[in-house]
Amino acid sequence: MIFEQITTGGCQSYLVGCADTCAAVVIDPEKSQIDRYLALAMRHGLRIRYLLDTHTHADHFSASRQLARQLDAPLVMHRASPAPFVDMRLDDGEMLAVGRLRLQALHTPGHTMDSMCLIAEDRIFSGDTLLIGATGRSDLPSGDPEALYDSLFNHILHLDPALKVYPAHEYKGRSHSTIGQEITDNPRLQKRDRAEFVEMMRSLNLTMPTHITEALRTNMSGGKTVADLLSEAAERVPFMSLGELKSRVDAGDDELIILDIREREAYLTAHIPGARLLPRGQLELRVNQELPDPTRHILTCCELGLISTLAASTLRTMGYQRAVALDGGMKAWRAASYPVEHGPAQ
Ligand SMILES: [Fe+2]
């Protein structure tokens, strides 16, 4: 087995390949690591044949759909997954063949109703059902502490104690443990009575994960995240640094049109000297009057340097082939004590 563990914050994903056939699967891929999975597969001479999510993630952005499309490979989840774009749905006891490797699916609801674990040779990919020294939480949508008890105590914990446990989350830098270690050391598994375990899970009072609504929306619909929109726009536009713009402003460069796309009030309070106001919400409608010459060099700026990227990308789509975005925003410009003008354009 060719094996790579990829850590993104606390999220763990895995590239698992068959050494005989060079076929591979990525388990729980995360959006920010897409290039890394592809690079690792290339480094090992692997071809990614499947993308697999152990469950519907509520706390990070799955790259499965994007990679599945890009690689023309099936996206695999449990049969209970609510996502309409899953290509292959596994049921309890079924196996995914990755070359000569076999990944056996165990349906382990509890963290979510579509949670599954996968056993491959000497290890189990335990998703968020069993973590190192913890379990997945059962208070998110479709979670169920009673089902989690059954999945753990009547299923996972009966497996070979030597089986290595590779979870979907680990926040303390540990790579894996074993079923045996978890049985003896995992504090949550010491509550072996069903009612006590359920009561403990119900009283954890965990805070909701950040981005939960965006993660569930995009992971279940296949829609784009805000970061997707920004990175797609950023792939299409050049940027200009704050320092470069400052030196152009100091030099009185009037070749460059600085387009402030914030709301009028923010613009009147303080803007870059010489900047013109064209709020983002009016950009497409007013662009013909405001910017009649599509060959001009246009720089978009906003408060944080994010929306300006979208605006520059929109301008490029509309034929302004020299539109660029400021690398940073007015917040950083003010923090650098660079000059500003107040009031309406002069
Ligand atoms: Fe999860």
CA of 134 relative to ligand 1 center, distance in Å: 13
CA of 313 relative to ligand 1 center, distance in Å: 34
| DSSP notation for 175-228 | --EEHHHHHHH-GGGG--SHHHHHHHHHT--PPPPTTHHHHHHHHHH----HHH
CA of 172 relative to ligand 1 center, distance in Å: 17
Integer CA distances (angstroms), 258 to 168, 233, 249, 255, in order: 46, 19, 10, 10
CA of 293 relative to ligand 1 center, distance in Å: 51
CA of 106 relative to ligand 1 center, distance in Å: 16
CA of 57 relative to ligand 1 center, distance in Å: 5
User: What pLDDT is stored for residue 268 in this prediction?
Assistant: 97
CA of 132 relative to ligand 1 center, distance in Å: 14
CA of 315 relative to ligand 1 center, distance in Å: 39
Whether 40 contacts 17, CB under 8 Å: no
CA of 51 relative to ligand 1 center, distance in Å: 16
User: What pLDDT is stored for residue 37 in this prediction?
Assistant: 98
Q: Residue 242 phi/psi, 5° resolution?
A: -60, -40
The CA angle 96-59-32, to the nearest 5 degrees, is: 75
User: What pLDDT is stored for residue 346 in this prediction?
Assistant: 66
Burial of 260 (0-12, 13-18, 19+ CB in 10 A): buried
What domains does the chain contain, in order, with CATH numbers? Answer: 2-223 (3.60.15.10), 229-335 (3.40.250.10)
CA of 56 relative to ligand 1 center, distance in Å: 7
Strand, helix or coil for residue 31: helix
CA of 11 relative to ligand 1 center, distance in Å: 9
CA of 100 relative to ligand 1 center, distance in Å: 29
One-letter amino acid of 54: T
CA of 97 relative to ligand 1 center, distance in Å: 24
The Cβ of residue 243 has, within 10 Å, a number of other Cβ atoms equal to: 12
Full pLDDT tens readout for the chain, 346 residues: 999 999 999 999 999 999 999 999 999 999 999 999 999 999 999 999 999 999 999 988 999 999 999 999 999 999 999 999 999 999 999 999 999 999 999 999 999 999 999 999 999 999 999 999 999 999 999 999 999 999 999 999 999 999 999 999 999 999 999 999 999 999 999 999 999 999 999 999 898 888 899 999 998 888 999 999 999 999 999 999 999 999 999 999 889 999 999 999 999 999 999 999 999 999 999 999 999 999 999 999 999 999 999 999 999 999 999 999 999 999 999 999 999 999 997 6
CA of 290 relative to ligand 1 center, distance in Å: 48
CA of 121 relative to ligand 1 center, distance in Å: 24
CA of 171 relative to ligand 1 center, distance in Å: 13
Query: How many residues make up the chain in this entry?
Result: 346
User: What pLDDT is stored for residue 263 in this prediction?
Assistant: 97
CA of 53 relative to ligand 1 center, distance in Å: 10
Question: Which residues keep their CB under 5 angstroms from ion ligand 1?
Answer: 128
CA of 168 relative to ligand 1 center, distance in Å: 7
CA of 64 relative to ligand 1 center, distance in Å: 15
CA of 59 relative to ligand 1 center, distance in Å: 7
User: What pLDDT is stored for residue 345 in this prediction?
Assistant: 79
